[in-house]
Amino acid sequence: MPRAGRSYTLLDRAGRRFESDVPGTLGGHRRTRIYGRLDCPNALRWLAKGHYAAHRVFFRDARTARAAGYRPCAICMPAEYASWRAVSDRPAATKG
């Protein structure tokens, strides 16, 4: 539940930042343009190492993330990634 008076910075469909009183449901990485669940094990690993936070962005929902040019994470959102991949001409992501 959002805390009263708290503001969250999210990205909109055009990739512009805006303030919201509702937290984002998905996190993303600005450089790789990948979004995923807030509990994604890969993102949490990178956050723990201190390499990810400076490029972290948040989205209200998957539709907004995709409209902003981000793709689903292959690790925490495999079904969404497969759907994205099926209509994309980009090579598959490599794990590792």
Mean pLDDT of residues grouped by 10 in the chain (96 residues)? 70 91 91 95 91 88 94 96 86 58
- Fold annotation for 8-86: DNA Methylphosphotriester Repair Domain (3.40.10)
For the chain, the domains span 8-86
Assess contact for 26 and 39: CB atoms under 8 A.
no
* Six-digit token string for 52: 């990810």
Assess contact for 66 and 32: CB atoms under 8 A.
no
pTM above 0.75, yes or no: yes
pLDDT for residue 4: 59
Cα–Cα dist 67/41, whole Å: 24
pLDDT for residue 95: 54
